[in-house]
Amino acid sequence: MANLNDHKGRPIVAVTGIGVVTSLGVGKTDNWAALTSGKSGIHPITRFPIDQLNTRISGMVDFLPSSSQGASPLTYELAELAGLEAVAEAGLDSSDFGGPLFLASPPVELDWAERFSLYNSGKDKDDTAAEKLLRVARSLKELDIFETTQFGSIADRLAERLGTRGLPITLSTACASGATAIQLGVEAIRRGECERALSIGADGSATAEALIRFSLLSALSTHNDIPEKASKPFSKDRDGFVLAEGSGALVLESLEAALSRGATILGILGGCGEKADDFHRTRSKPDASPAIAAVRTALADAGLREDEIDYVNAHGTSTPENDKMEHLALSTVFGERIGSMPVSSNKSMIGHTLSAAGAVEAAFSLMTMRESVIPPTINYDNPDPAIVLDVVPNKKRNAEVRTVLSNSFGFGGQNTCLVMAREPV
Amino acid sequence: MSSPRDVIITGIGLVSSLGEGPDAHWQKLAQPGLEPVLETARFSPYTIHPLPEIDWNLQIAKRGDQRQMETWQRLGTYAAGLALDDAGIKGNDELCTTMDMVVAAGGGERDEAVDAAILAASESRNDRDVLLNEKLTTELRPTLFLAQLSNLLAGNISIVHKVTGSSRTFMGEEGAGVAAVETAAARIRSGQSTHILVGGAFQTEHSDMLLGYELAGYLHRGPWKPVWQRQGGEGGGVVTGSGGAFLVLEQREHAISRGRKIYAELGPVVSGRSRRQRGELDMAIAALLKQAVLPNGKLLALSGASGAHAATSAEKAALDANPAISARGFSTLTGHMKEAQFPFAVALAALAVHRRAAYPVFDAAAEKPFEGVPATVLATAVGYHQFEGMALVNTA
């Protein structure tokens, strides 16, 4: 009989379903095949004109029915697809999931397409722009536009579609959101509030305005000429992240509940750690102390020592700042061993899926352990001499991986780390 | 029976049109017949409850920090600072660096002038996507993006007040406030946290913040009325207000060990998502009331009712159906504060418990007096569109 409680006496949390969508495709099979063959999903932007833009590439998901319908519809579709895949793999009823929903998704805003259309249907010449929008708004007969502006509406629709229980939680911890959604699910199960939880990170918000905002903060790569080469984490010539879309979903379940219904255990969510940074709105504390604390808290939560981590699924955004800080954090925690530990960044292939990243990368971390294959960091042609890491350069590697640390660091000082294991420890 | 892991309220930070701080709010709200502070001209035909005069320097010492924020984030950071001060945590490094945080947030303010210029230009151009690129790349202020980001209210609280244990932002109107308080309480009860900052802010004095309601026709128009008396009036019944509410929740043992003033104990927090189109709201509210396990005897209720016609009449019917309940619809005096609505309700409930006195009626036509000492007070937030929650606040 397996031990059903962890080192702190809490229920062990198992993963019984995984779903993922990225620019590489829909579903685990296609994504894993592409990821392990070092294929990039980064491509020229076609969703909107690129006039005046310094960055003209992205990892947008352009192949779904709602890809051109705006951020809210696409985020919903991404979340639904990943959620359905995860719930189906778990062997649960896809319309009656029976546990809470934690959704990481981007903040919503009225889309420009709607803003233009409302404004230009205003008839009153004396109105200011704001008055025009309000006057037209209150005469609308349908709720479609309204719902795209409500922060709780995507989760509400998902809750309805998937039959989750209770008030669904929508959260944002910027680029750590996906990891936070998983953490909230883990905590709910550990507290005994539920036997299972559905954690989803989804982001379909790569609009022109989003791209421009990140551009104005000098966060994006401008290596437009060969799109698939633009995201190059840990390389000397890295120059920013590549804006991307995607979704990841995990069905989390107490090990006891999972075993008792005969579910396949895909992995264990062993530990979560977080630490907020008070240094700056977009930059990390130079000594990386919050990231270090987040990693150490996650290890302690999982009851693992530093030398018990086999692989790091890095945040690895390909910005000059993040990769340097992350290296400092990892080398501080893992010491000399970091030079020989595999540390790779999925973002080299899929770009930065923002609110979804933590969930997408947790999904890939679990698959890494199950398949005994580490996806590479591609575009590693020009190593940064200041960052000495085994980034699994350019080609996948076959390796037994029992444990993974997955990092997520975001604007606003958000740092969240997850520790996953193949088997209960 | 008290337990060392009870959830205790040790700090309250409030801002609304009525003023700032728990004492100012108590003193105002304890006055029978208090008149609301209204702004009827600026956003006509909508009435709002505006922010009071605030000296941001009192809680956000660095001008540089103030400049990085717009009013919404400043307001939340300010209200959070008031709560930390009130709990004796502000400036205490050890307590701040181990303090967890759950913020209920919407989004920040867009640049209305840039948006208006783009819209005006769109009248004469069909290549609107190109227009957007032209204008946004040249006219957006880079830092404004950060002032709009939902999680940057929490980020600013970390930067300004050094609260860095953990930081989570929940989104989703009133439900975000409910879930934030519920999750924070669950963390304390389970021993995951010893002290947590939880709350939110809403800055309604921006046309986009009104648009967020009005795209479904939720706003009340025409002459102002108390929250319970807007059925059948022009518009959808919601009158908004700017404000913020933050609470310091603490494990009883932790609060006692540092000898803090205790406002009240936070009892059960319950929440739900009823399928309103299927007519489930009435039953859902009744179920939540049952789940909260109301005490015997008469009960004061601080209702966060928004005025939205369907939700407010369902809540009123449910509260009226229990003759023991005396409800106070505080939106009459503060306006609806969206994400901050539920934390505000809990804060007002805690004040009544702490002061051992009920609030007078906020609307003599629709509310009934409460005599005696309220040992337990109910706080509610039934979302104007979706999600519902309640909590019981008890004498500590």
The encoded tokens of residue A362 equal 């947790």
Under 8 Å CB-to-CB from A200, ≥6 apart: which residues? A19, A79, A82, A83, A86, A101, A102, A103, A104, A158, A181, A247, A248, A249, A359
Whether B155 and A413 lie within 8 Å, measured CB to CB: yes
Kindly list the catalytic residues of A. 175, 315, 352
Measured between beta carbons, the chain A residues lying within 8 angstroms of B155 are 174, 276, 281, 411-414
Chain A nearest C-alpha distance from B32 (Å): 35
Are A130 and A262 found together in one domain? no
- In b/e form, how buried is each residue of A253-277, taking b as 16+ CB within 10 angstroms? bbbebbbeeebebbbbbbbbbbbbb
A132 lies in which domain range?
114-146
Are the beta carbons of B211 and A151 separated by less than 8 Å?
no
pLDDT tens-digit readout, B12-64: 999 999 999 999 999 999 999 999 999 999 999 999 999 999 999 999 999 99
Assigned domain for A6 exists: no
Helix count and strand count (H, E) for chain B: 15, 13
Closest CA to A295 of A320, A274, A265, A266: A274
Q: Are A87 and A133 within one domain?
A: no
Query: How many interchain CB pairs under 8 A, A with B?
Result: 235
Structural domain boundaries in chain B: 7-108+149-394, 112-143
In our burial notation (b when 16+ CB lie closer than 10 A, e otherwise), range B242-271 reads bbbbbbbbbbbebbbeeebebbbbbbebbb
pLDDT at A323: 97
Residues A241 and A122 in one domain: no
Domain identity same for A139 and A272 = no
Distances (CA, A) of A317 to A99, A214, A313, A413: 33, 13, 11, 15
Same domain? A138 vs A286: no
Reading the block at residue B219, the tokens are 């706003």
Chain B partners within 8 Å of A111 (Cβ): none
Report pLDDT digits (tens) over B129-176.
999 999 999 999 998 999 999 999 999 999 999 999 999 999 999 999
Tell whether B106 is within 8 A of chain A (Cβ): yes
User: Do A266 and A138 share a structural domain?
Assistant: no
d(CA A345, CA A339): 15
- Which residue of B145, B178, B187 to mutate against A (max A Cβ within 10 Å)? B145
> How many angstroms separate the CA of residue A423 from the nearest CA in chain B?
25
The structure tokens listed for A160 are 């309805």
* Residue A83, both tokens: 């959620």
Residue in A with minimal Cα distance to B174: A152
Out of A151, A184, A216, name the one closest to residue B145 (CB).
A216
Those of residues 3-62 in A touching chain B at CB distance below 8 A are 48-53
**pLDDT of A325 strictly over 90:** yes
**Residue B237 in contact with partner chain A when CB distance is under 8 A:** no
Residue B327 CA to residue B226 CA, distance in Å, equals: 13
Handedness of CA A200, A206, A210, A212 (dihedral sign): positive
* CA distance between the termini of chain A: 13
* Residue A331: CB atoms within 10 Å: 18
- Across the range A327-335, mean pLDDT stands at 98
Beta-carbon separation of B116 and A130 below 8 A: yes
Q: How far is B136 from chain A (nearest CA, A)?
A: 7
**Is the model's pLDDT at A234 over the cut of 80?**
yes
Angle between helices A357-371 and A28-36 (to 10 degrees): 80
Q: Which residues of B touch A49 (CB under 8 A)?
A: 127, 129-130, 133
B387, A152: Cβ pair inside 8 Å? Answer: yes
What would the mean pLDDT of A408-417 be, rounded to a whole number?
A: 95
Overall number of domains in chain A: 2
Cα A410 from Cα A280, distance rounded (Å) = 11
State which H helix or E strand residue B167 sits in: strand B166-171
Q: For residue A2, is pLDDT > 80?
A: no
Report whether pLDDT(B381) > 90.
yes
Using the beta-carbon criterion (under 8 Å), do A276 and B166 form an inter-chain contact? yes
Q: Which positions 124-153 of A are in contact with B (Cβ < 8 Å)?
A: 128-134, 137-140, 143, 145-146, 149-153
Does residue B113 sit at the A interface (CB-CB below 8 Å)? Answer: no
Residue A41 lies in a domain: yes
Q: In a mutagenesis test of the A interface, which of B215, B238, B306, B387 is the best target, namely the one with the most A β-carbons within 10 Å?
A: B215
Burial of B298 (0-12, 13-18, 19+ CB in 10 A): middle
Name the burial class of residue A412, with classes exposed (0-12), middle (13-18) and buried (19+) by CB atoms within 10 angstroms of its CB: buried
Question: Quick check: B272 and A120 CB within 8 A?
Answer: no
Contact B386 A215 (CB under 8 A): no
Q: Is residue A45 part of a domain?
A: yes
Mean pLDDT of A321-333: 97
Q: What angle do CA B150, B188, A271 make, to 5 degrees?
A: 75
- B19-20 and B7-16 beta bridge pairing: antiparallel
Nearest neighbour of A151 by CB, restricted to B145, B176, B217:
B176
Token duo for residue B116: 């208006």
Sign (positive/negative) of CA torsion A123, A128, A132, A135? Answer: negative
Q: Domain for residue A118, yes or no?
A: yes
- Per-residue pLDDT of A275-292, as tens digits, reads 999 999 999 999 999 999
Same domain, A123 and A222: no
Q: Is residue A335 part of a domain?
A: yes
The answer to whether the CB atoms of B275 and A160 lie below 8 A apart is yes
pLDDT, residue A324, reads 97
Residues of A within 8 A of B115 (CB-CB) are 115, 129
**With an 8 Å Cβ cutoff, are A151 and B106 in contact?**
yes
On the question of pLDDT at B1 being above 80, the answer is no
Compute the residue count for chain A.
425
Q: What was the pLDDT predicted at A125? A: 87
Residue that terminates a domain, selected from A125, A146, A167: A146
Nearest CB to A150: which of B110, B134, B173?
Answer: B173
Task: Give B7-108+149-394's CATH code, choosing from 3.40.47.10, 3.30.460.10, 3.40.309.10, 3.30.70.660.
Answer: 3.40.47.10
Please report the residues numbered 90 through 109 in chain A whose beta carbons come closer than 8 angstroms to any beta carbon of chain B: 105, 107-109
Judgement on whether residues A136 and A255 belong to the same structural domain of the protein: no
Q: Are the beta carbons of B154 and B105 closer than 8 angstroms?
A: yes
Average pLDDT on A134-146 reads 96
- A411 and B CB contact within 8 Å: yes
A94-111 mean pLDDT: 98
A142, pLDDT greater than 70: yes
Cis-peptide, bond into residue A49, ω within 30° of zero: no
Cβ–Cβ below 8 Å for B146 and A216:
no
Residues A137 and A278 both lie in one domain: no
Determine whether the interchain pair A411/B140 forms a contact, defined as Cβ–Cβ distance below 8 Å: no
Integer Cα distance of A186 and A145 in angstroms = 34
CA distance B16 to B233: 25
* A65 shares its domain with A136: no
Tell me which residue in A150, A156, A167 faces B389 most closely, judged by beta carbons. Answer: A167
| CA pair distance A187, A176, nearest whole angstrom | 16
Q: For residue A224, what are the contacts with CB-CB under 8 A and spacing of at least 6?
A: A44, A55, A56, A57, A230
Helix, strand, or coil here: B350?
helix
| Chain B residue with the nearest C-alpha to that of A137 | B215
Q: What is the pLDDT of residues B235-276, one digit of tens each?
A: 999 999 999 999 999 999 999 999 999 999 999 999 999 999
Residue B164 at interface with chain A, using a CB cutoff of 8 Å: yes
Local structure of B248: helix, strand or coil: strand
- DSSP string computed for B88-107: T-TT-HHHHHT-EEEEEE--
- Contact between B146 and A281 using a beta-carbon 8 Å cutoff: yes
A272 and A127 within one domain: no
Q: Classify residue A8: in a domain, yes or no.
A: no
Q: Which of A52, A193, A280 sits opposite B137 (nearest CB)?
A: A52
Calculate mean pLDDT across residues A296-310.
98
Chain mean pLDDT for chain A: 97
Q: Does position A1 have pLDDT exceeding 70, yes or no?
A: no
Calculate the average pLDDT of chain B.
97
H runs (alpha helix) in chain B:
22-29, 63-67, 71-86, 93-97, 112-122, 128-139, 142-148, 152-161, 173-189, 207-214, 252-257, 281-291, 309-320, 331-334, 341-355
Give the confidence band of B285 by pLDDT, cuts at 50, 70, 90: very high
Contact present, A396 and A36 (Cβ < 8 Å): yes
For a pLDDT cut of 70, what percent of chain B falls above it? 100
| Nearest-CB residue to B142 (from A119, A208, A216) | A216
pTM of the entire structure?
Answer: 0.98
Whether the CB of B151 is below 8 Å from some CB of chain A: the reply is yes
Residue A67 resides in a domain: yes
Mean pLDDT value of segment A253-259: 98
Domain CATH code at residue A352: 3.40.47.10
Q: pLDDT at position A84, please?
A: 98
Q: Closest approach of chain B CAs to the CA of A99, in angstroms? A: 13
Contacts 24+ apart (CB under 8 A), B19-23: B19/B52, B20/B52, B20/B54, B20/B78, B20/B79, B20/B82, B21/B82, B21/B86, B22/B86, B22/B263, B22/B347, B22/B351
Touching check for A340 and chain B: CB below 8 Å? no
- Out of A112, A156, A282, name the one closest to residue B386 (CB): A156
Question: Taking CB atoms and an 8 Å limit, are B110 and A282 in contact across chains?
Answer: no
Rounded Cα distance between A175 and A294, Å, is 15
B96 token code pair? 């701040």
- What are the pLDDT digits (tens) for B299-350? 999 999 999 999 999 999 999 999 999 999 999 999 999 999 999 999 999 9
Task: Please name the residues between 389 and 408 in chain A that touch chain B, using a CB distance below 8 Å.
Answer: none
Measured in angstroms, the CA of A289 and the nearest CA of chain B are apart by 12
Q: What is the mean pLDDT of residues B204-208?
A: 97
Q: Classify residue A410: in a domain, yes or no.
A: yes
Please give the single-letter amino acid code of residue A74: L
Q: Chain A contacts of B212, Cβ < 8 Å?
A: 149-150
Please judge whether B171 and A151 are an interchain contact, meaning their C-beta atoms are less than 8 angstroms apart.
yes
**Which residues on neighbouring strands pair with residue A251, listed in sequence order?**
A17, A198
Do A130 and A37 belong together in one domain?
Answer: no
